[in-house]
Amino acid sequence: MAHLLEMKNICKSFSGVSVLKNNHLELEAGEVHALLGENGAGKSTLIKILGGVYTKDSGQILVDGQEVEITGVESAKEHGIRIIHQELMLIPDMTISENIFIGQEPKTKAGTVDKKKMNEMAQGFLDSMHLDLKSTQFIRDLNIAQQQMVEIIRAISFGAKIIVMDEPTSSLTENEVDALFEAIKALKAKNVGIIYISHRMAELDAITDRITVMRDGEYIDTVVTKETTHDDLVALMVGRKLGDLYQKHENYSDDIILKVEKLASGKEVKNVDFELRRGEVLGFSGLVGSGRSETMECIFGLRHKDSGHIYIENKEVDIKNVKTAINAGIGLVPEDRKQSGIYPIQGIRFNATIEILDKFLKKGRYNSLQIKSQG
């Protein structure tokens, strides 16, 4: 029997740099097949070729045993292929329902867009995923996890036979992951084939049938999930034995550089206490909505603190705004980096120096030569 999907000897270079070297991927109907590999292994590139975002340099793609030429995103859809990309591709100023139906809006008899039907159908999809959202809400008012769910609904609601999910759970809460896994099981039962990209071993165990491992753009192996241990997978992924990995360096000192006491802000942040030592990486865990981002926003001066104390190197600082936070030596990489972390239409030089322009000021003028050398 022919495979639902077969990608054979796929090669791709970007400006002469080879990113995929003779890659293979096989998918059966009703299978959940994981694509696993370290950052930069080429997973997203491989599936962007399948989705018509990039064209391959050489190799073959077969759907149901027939060779197909995927010339673009529309052509991929015509072959029943849908991709949920790692970077969200929703339009902020349109509603959930408009985003779900973009390009395939239901029409009235008169040929106009049937908004009522569209909203009702979209609401049905949202409800079936147990999401507490209205189909008429704007994308810009949703958090990242909710947007991710809309992206997923958009891909799975229109009869695709091959669905690719590129790291879909990276910003989902446990409940949302459960809803996604239920949706995946329902798709499996309908004989849809799913390619699932994730680093999370527990997820691979829970939902995948087989796993294909890639490393540095090369195909390494395809294994059956049930017959493979986590250690085997890590060894395939990194090409080294496990003993060499995860060397723990405890190189933080006793020196406390940041101390937060009884920090409170609005409903989200209540009585937060912690200490950060020099050289330490301190993790904050909790569900979406538990106040992690809000706590950091307070410390970075993006959010007003109602009470509490912040000490840097044992001196209390009064962080009134972002400027005082930066002057005190604090940097923030925000959650939604595309939205609030960078100025996308500006170059790297601009982005890397905008927060520290003062350092390059000389008699009231910017020393752009110095900026260049630091960049």
Least distance from C-beta 188 to ligand ADP, angstroms?
24
Structure tokens belonging to residue 139: 């994308």
- Scanning the structure block, which residue is given the tokens 């100023």? 93
Supply the minimum distance, in Å, between the C-beta of residue 352 and Mg ion. 23
Which two structure tokens, joined as six digits, stand for 295? 């706590």
What's the closest the beta carbon of residue 209 comes to ligand ADP, in angstroms?
21
How far apart (Å, rounded) are the C-alpha atoms in residues 112 and 128? 27
H-run or E-run covering 48: helix 43-50
d(CA 198, CA 219): 17
Asked whether 146 and 137 are in contact (CB, 8 A), the reply is no
Q: Looking at beta carbons only, is 87 or 250 nearer to ligand ADP? A: 87
Q: Is 272 in contact with 259 (CB distance < 8 Å)? A: no
Instruction: Select 19 or 325, whichever has its Cβ closest to ligand ADP.
Output: 19
| Shortest distance (Å) from residue 90 CB to Mg ion | 18
| Positions 155 through 174 that interact with ligand ADP (CB under 6 A) | none
Least distance in angstroms from the C-beta of 5 to ligand ADP: 18
Q: Which is nearer to Mg ion, 96 or 194 (CB)?
A: 194
d(CA 242, CA 187): 35
User: Please, which residue, 7 or 260, has the CB nearer to ligand ADP?
Assistant: 7
Task: Residue 305: name its binding partner from ligand ADP, Mg ion, none (Cβ under 5 to 8 Å by kind).
Answer: none
- Residue 320 C-beta-side C-alpha neighbours within 13 Å: 1
Residue 158: name its binding partner from ligand ADP, Mg ion, none (Cβ under 5 to 8 Å by kind): none
Closest to 50 in 3D by CA, of 76, 78, 31: 76
Residue 330 beta carbon to Mg ion: minimum distance, rounded to whole angstroms: 30
Backbone angles phi, psi at 263, to 5 degrees: -75, 135
292 binds, among Mg ion, ligand ADP, none (CB under 5 to 8 A by kind): none
52 binding ligand ADP? (CB under 6 A): no
Q: Mask: binding to ligand ADP, 6-45, rule CB under 6 A, as x and -?
A: --------x----x-----------------x-xxxxxxx
Identify what 265 binds: ligand ADP, Mg ion, none; CB under 5 to 8 Å per kind.
Answer: none
39 binds, among ligand ADP, Mg ion, none (CB under 5 to 8 A by kind): ligand ADP
Q: Which one, 42 or 80, has the nearer CB to Mg ion?
A: 42
Distance of closest approach, residue 10 Cβ to ligand ADP, in angstroms: 12
Strands (E), the chain: 5-14, 17-27, 32-36, 58-63, 66-67, 81-84, 162-166, 193-197, 210-215, 218-224, 256-265, 269-277, 307-312, 315-317, 361-362, 365-366
Please enumerate, as own/partner, the contacts of 100-103 that have beta carbons within 8 Å and a separation of 24 or more: 100/125, 100/135, 100/150, 100/153, 100/154, 100/157, 102/154
Q: Using CB atoms within 10 A of its CB, is residue 169 exposed (0-12), middle (13-18) or buried (19+)?
A: buried
Cβ-closest position to Mg ion? 44
Sites of contact with Mg ion (CB under 5 A): 44
What is the Cα Rg of the chain in Å?
A: 24
Measured from the CB atom, the residue of 41 and 153 that comes closer to ligand ADP is 41
Residue 165 C-beta: closest distance to ligand ADP, Å: 13
Q: Please say which residue, 44 or 353, places its beta carbon nearer to Mg ion.
A: 44
Residues that bind ligand ADP (CB under 6 A): 14, 19, 37, 39-45
